Structure 1
Amino acid sequence: MPSDPALLAFVAAVFVLAGIVKGVVGLGLPTLSMGLLTLAVAPAQAATLLLAPSFVTNLWQMMTGPHLRPLLRRLWPLLGGACLGTLLGSGSLATGSRMAVAGLGAVLVLYAAVALRAPRLRVPRAAEIWLGPLIGIATGLVTGATGVFVVPAVPYLQALGLSKDELVQALGLSFTVSTMALGAGLGLHGGFASPMVMASLVALLPAMLGMQIGQRIRERMEPRIFRLWFLASLVVLGGWLALSAL
């Protein structure tokens, strides 16, 4: 547990900011926090600090709203595939290539740039039963290599034609399942050994405060503006991943 007041204040500010972004667009807390925290602490310490805030904020996001049961019935093929892919790929996280992270960032930027200028993609409802598991497994393998569970699950979820609030809740559901699967996979490889675990629990407070602020901002957004924010956030997160890997 760090005792430096300046460091504690910096960590709290990072999680408030990342929580606001997550509250508005439904994603970004781990990626944004990781990038900022590594300015002050070692990457391993930053990753440990993220454990509790990432899991609890995703769980909170998943539980906020009336759409959880319908989403579970609709998304179980994606979620099952994500669990399988993550467990299969989690062994590569410790030896993951920085080029894989850079490539993931580039894909995010490319997808968002195309989506900003092109009509929305649509996945036919009948295709979800077979496409969902494939997208889930691919997302899980990417998670196993990079620790980031965004591609291709987020573009897939956006292509389902969900409403603003349904999309945010679906992201929370997907990220919660992926976080649990990644935790199980890392546990199999002895990935939980750090004195920063208690600090991760303390970091929950600023993260949840920021997320609550972000949710209130989102409630006042028009769907068109939300979509622009959502895609712009993918550009920023993708650019951040690509640059951090150089």
Structure 2
Amino acid sequence: MNIVVLIKQVPDMDKVKFDREKGVVDRKSAGTEINPFDLNALEAAVQISEKIDSKVTVISMGPPSAKEALKECIARGANEGILVSDAKFGGSDTKATSVILAAAIKKISEYDLIIAGEKTVDGDTGQVGPEIAEVLNIPHVSYVSKIDNIDNKNITVCSDIWDGTYLKQMKFPGLITVTKDINEPRLPSFKNKMKARKAEIKVLTFDDLKEFLDEEKVGFKGSPTKVKKIEVPSVQQRQGRIFREADTQKAEDELINIFRKNKILEVNNE
């Protein structure tokens, strides 16, 4: 079985700053890490490979520095890493990103199952996985919290949507996106870390994928989504009032007014 895992290198969202004028994340303002949900996707793939003889290929689109993230994935159990990187891909929204990653998957040609995290912490859209499946014209299941059964032809999963959990079966080739409930990602061993340091990361550029891509449909040109403004909401602090025992009536009156204003207390005048 050939399993493709999609990962993204994301900024540390607790430290990152936003360029409000350009409407983009200032990725140089903080360190980077592998998107947490993608680590769950990788762990799911590695666990499958331990049950069924499988090759796990990790693909990421990003700058040259993303090679380090791919090497970390190899240390965590992947067999190989592929970086999709080109200046022409810069500024891609979810649609353009999906088209580019689908082209990379077409390039490697042999795949049975594609696994991605349900979303990325820097975008939080949950769109890329399903969009890739649509571009490839394969079935997909989102928000997978458990893999119930898998063989060389099908996978049966539990999908959590709203308040319900659905048991779904999908034939290969297909794509799933997973939640953080599916597993606990393992940490790489020192031995695997040393092995991963020597791993060669294959790089695919626009020229390598041009048989599957239209230059007008990638990067800024191919991105219909435009961010016009970014606003960071201020942190709301809890507020309190202290009334002395002698001011009990005043406190009651003020509370009643607050309840009325917020429509917590409805007064019937009939």
TM range (shorter): under 0.3
TM-score by length of 1: 0.26
> Structure with the greater relative contact order (CA < 8 A, sep ≥ 6): 1 or 2?
1
> Higher strand fraction: Structure 1 or Structure 2?
2
Give the structure with the higher percent helix.
1
TM-score of the aligned structures, taking structure 2 as reference length: 0.24
Larger radius of gyration: 2
